[in-house]
Amino acid sequence: MTQDLKFVIVGDCDIGKTTLLNVYSNGAISENYYTSVLNNYIANEMYNEKSISMSLNDAPSQVELSSIRPLLYENADLYFICYYIDNQQSLLSIRSQWVPEIYSFCKQHGEPKPQFVVIGLKDYQHRDDDFQPNNVLDGQAETIAKEIGARGHIVCSLLNYGEVQKVFKLGIRICLDKKMKNFISITFNQDNQELIEEYDYNQGELYQALTGIVEKKGGDQSISISKGDIVKVINKGLLSLTIEKDGKTGKVPKGKLRTLYPGHIVYQQSMKHSQPVQQTKTETSISQEQIHSTEQQQIIHDTSIPKRPPPPIPKQRVIPPNSGKSEDKDIEINIPFNTSWKISDFEQKERLGKGGFGIVRHVIEKSTQSHMAWKEMDYEEEKEKEMVNKEKDQTLNICRIITKATSSSFLHVVQPLGFFISDDERKAYLVMEFCAGGDLRKYINNMKKSGMEISPQKAYQMIGYIAISLIQLHASGIIHSDLKPENVLLTEDFKVKLADFGLSRQLQVGREYTTNHGGTFLYQGPEILRNKSKAQVGEENSIPQKIIQTTYADIWAFGVMMFELLAQRHPFFNDKTEGDISAEEFIHRVVDLPPAELPDHYPLKLKNLIKQMLVKDPSQRKSAQEILEVPQVTAALEGK
């Protein structure tokens, strides 16, 4: 019986990864080989007296082929990530490009957590005559391999077939030997002797600090973390993480850390409306003629990708109209947007909020004395620039779409006013309109501090304004994806404007769901957390399902926020009485248990309306339009 495995080889251009496949398939470097758009080789090895058939897929490295590359990622059993030993940048790209890109694909398409082996290549003839060596430091590659959660690291010569063969035999062992849990390091000395080291790989998850942290533990003991430090998380609570660094442990709030490789989408700035380069096969613009124009390889060249059955589509009662959808490539809406401002043009006032990716501050534009807000974000690393530019483009694009699609004179989205970069090019500033009422989180917290509660009339009014905001989005096929009290801003007259569209998605024409999903854990619905729970359990025989998201994901988050508005606590845990519960326990409650009861003194119809937003089956939740049509909501908006 033959066991089939799929390996994908990725890495920077001109480092020898295609040569690696060429040597393995031919026994030596061929003088006549050449690359093509999608290279696929079939090779066979024996492992424990079993025949192993390997599909070896050479992913193109060129930027212009980045939209094609993910076609090869589907159903991969293992990724070989290559670097060249005298090209340090190719090693650093593993962290900055290849691992985030692969993680992003796997998360978007419901793939299992990817497995990596890092391969150091040597004895390669570079095509670039001007190449200047910049050697990888001793131990640097192995450290990075461990940081990204790789299963192993191997260095091999492209002039030695035996060493090349070891690469693929290691890949087979990692995939098939379920008992092998350790990190494996393989190198070869000058006498071609194989040196193997194994390390205990029970590391926990790796996170990166977004800011400096000092966690006091009493006496002289404390744990200190600088911005950018990588720490090991040994226990997860719902609100905090227990970390370990330099042999010390401590608890820090979740907002201070981010997962080291959270799967951020890499954006190609030259693409219109800054669309993500990761795409499913059906979403890719590459033509069949372009794919089939590639040349045959010496073994087998096969560009076909196995198809999975499509995920079930939840029933949707309202199909968003076509107006404002993604086929409107050129939107002729003129929104004033200033890109010539400088920091000195503003008077800085109080800080309004701080999140994982920036600080929001109230500012006054000096020449007009206009009150505005800016979001200050780090802008040094390439990944930071990509994320900032994506948020800017996304916010502008959504504002234009809503402006074009709505007949209302009041936009329920925060309008972007400008963007500029600091003189030292270390910070970027997205300038937005100022909402004097603060955000919904501040509103809820102020009620808690003062011992007050919101009246039913005011609650219905808030529900109505948020419903209108979501209607403006959903009617244009936009899912916010990160609704939470911090992203619901209030004007002086209590109207609502939605903010922070960094994770928003626009549905394709004729499609009612997306496999992209994001958002804040506490506000994600059971349809998303259910599959996250399966991935965390890691059952060997479980088949991961694609996580799909519809507009009803926003309705769930809407319901959680309204529950918090009335009860001043989350519907599935009470931080005052329970403290910090585990993430696994929280997922269990959201997926399997009903929400807590709202306070008795609120009207039954109001409580039932919020419960209808928190129905487990997304297809049975009320739409934003149906919520707006509830008589009590309509009456509250009309001031009755």
pLDDT in tens, 19-56: 898 888 877 765 554 555 556 788 888 888 888 999 99
In a domain, 608, yes or no: yes
- Judge whether residue 521 has pLDDT over 70: yes
pLDDT in tens, 570-605: 999 988 777 778 888 999 999 999 999 999 999 999
Does residue 604 sit in the same domain as residue 503?
Answer: yes
Does residue 110 sit in the same domain as residue 243?
Answer: no
* pLDDT tier for residue 631 given thresholds of 50, 70 and 90: very high
Going edge to edge, which strands form the sheet with 257-259? 248-253, 240-245, 230-236, 205-209, 257-259
Which class for 206: exposed (0-12), middle (13-18), buried (19 or more C-beta within 10 A)?
A: middle
Residue 250: domain span: 205-259
What is the rounded average pLDDT of the residues 61-80? Answer: 86
Gap between the Cα atoms of 2 and 570, Å rounded: 52
Please give the torsion angle defined by the CA atoms of residues 528, 534, 536 and 541, in that order, rounded to the nearest 10 degrees: -150
Query: CATH code at 8?
Result: 3.40.50.300
pLDDT confidence of residue 534: 52
Does residue 219 sit in the same domain as residue 111?
Answer: no
Instruction: Estimate to the nearest angstrom the gap between the alpha carbon of 117 and the chain centroid.
Output: 22
Domain boundary among 406, 433, 460: 433
Does residue 73 sit in the same domain as residue 166?
Answer: yes
The DSSP secondary structure of 114-129, one letter per residue, reads P-EEEEEEES---S-T
Residue 126 in contact with residue 14, Cβ under 8 Å?
A: yes
Domain boundary among 386, 408, 433: 433
DSSP state of 628: H
Which stretch, 57-66, 282-291, 552-561, has highest mean pLDDT? 552-561
Residue 233 in contact with residue 205, Cβ under 8 Å?
A: yes
- Judge whether residue 607 has pLDDT over 80: yes
pLDDT in tens, 542-571: 444 556 788 999 999 999 999 999 999 999
In a domain, 43, yes or no: yes
Does residue 375 sit in the same domain as residue 348?
Answer: yes
pLDDT in tens, 327-342: 333 334 456 889 999 9
pLDDT confidence of residue 233: 78
How many structural domains compose the chain? 4
- Judge whether residue 238 has pLDDT over 70: no
Rounded (10°) angle between helices 583-592 and 526-537: 130
Query: CATH code at 220?
Result: 2.30.30.40
Domain boundary among 222, 239, 259: 259
Which sequence positions are flagged as catalytic? 482
| Structure token digits, residue 207 | 């996170």
Which stretch, 19-33, 133-147, 438-452, 514-528, has highest mean pLDDT? 438-452
551 C-beta neighbours (distance < 10 Å), count: 25
Q: What is the CA radius of gyration of the chain?
A: 27
Q: Is the pTM of this model over 0.75?
A: no
Query: CATH code at 605?
Result: 1.10.510.10
**Between 500 and 544, where is the model more confident?**
500
pLDDT confidence of residue 97: 87
Does residue 350 sit in the same domain as residue 484?
Answer: no
Q: Closest Cα to residue 25, out of 288, 389, 325, 300?
A: 300
- Judge whether residue 146 has pLDDT over 90: no
In a domain, 587, yes or no: yes
Gap between the Cα atoms of 619 and 317, Å rounded: 8
What is the rounded average pLDDT of the residues 102-115? Answer: 84
Does residue 470 sit in the same domain as residue 381?
Answer: no
Percent of the chain with pLDDT over 90: 35
The β-bridge partners of 55 are 6, 42
Does residue 411 sit in the same domain as residue 552?
Answer: no
pLDDT confidence of residue 254: 67
DSSP state of 18: H
- Judge whether residue 87 has pLDDT over 50: yes
Query: CATH code at 378?
Result: 3.30.200.20
Cα end-to-end span (Å), the chain = 75
Does residue 489 sit in the same domain as residue 351?
Answer: no
In a domain, 554, yes or no: yes
Instruction: Estimate to the nearest angstrom the gap between the alpha carbon of 358 and the chain centroid.
Output: 17
Does residue 590 sit in the same domain as residue 615?
Answer: yes
Q: Look at strands 370-378 and 39-47 and give their pairing.
A: unpaired
434 C-beta neighbours (distance < 10 Å), count: 19
The DSSP secondary structure of 451-495, one letter per residue, reads T----HHHHHHHHHHHHHHHHHHHTTTEE-----GGGEEE-TTS-
The β-bridge partners of 365 are 346, 370
pLDDT, the chain, mean: 78
Residue 9 in contact with residue 59, Cβ under 8 Å?
A: yes
- Judge whether residue 324 has pLDDT over 50: no
Which class for 182: exposed (0-12), middle (13-18), buried (19 or more C-beta within 10 A)?
A: middle
Which stretch, 105-119, 264-278, 494-508, 592-606, has highest mean pLDDT? 592-606
pLDDT in tens, 381-424: 888 898 898 889 888 888 888 887 776 667 888 999 999 999 99
- Judge whether residue 114 has pLDDT over 70: yes
Which CA distances in Å does 332 have to 273, 329, 416, 432, 433?
Answer: 14, 10, 17, 21, 22
229 in a known ligand binding site: no
- Judge whether residue 464 has pLDDT over 60: yes
pLDDT confidence of residue 428: 95
Gap between the Cα atoms of 25 and 623, Å rounded: 56
Comparing 242-256, 484-498, 625-639, the range with the smallest average pLDDT is 242-256
* pLDDT tier for residue 172 given thresholds of 50, 70 and 90: very high
In a domain, 292, yes or no: no
Which CA distances in Å does 229 have to 96, 143, 360, 425?
Answer: 15, 14, 23, 22
486 in a known ligand binding site: yes
Gap between the Cα atoms of 563 and 635, Å rounded: 20
Does residue 633 sit in the same domain as residue 488?
Answer: yes
In a domain, 370, yes or no: yes
In a domain, 278, yes or no: no
In a domain, 286, yes or no: no
* pLDDT tier for residue 355 given thresholds of 50, 70 and 90: low
Does residue 366 sit in the same domain as residue 460?
Answer: no
pLDDT confidence of residue 187: 80
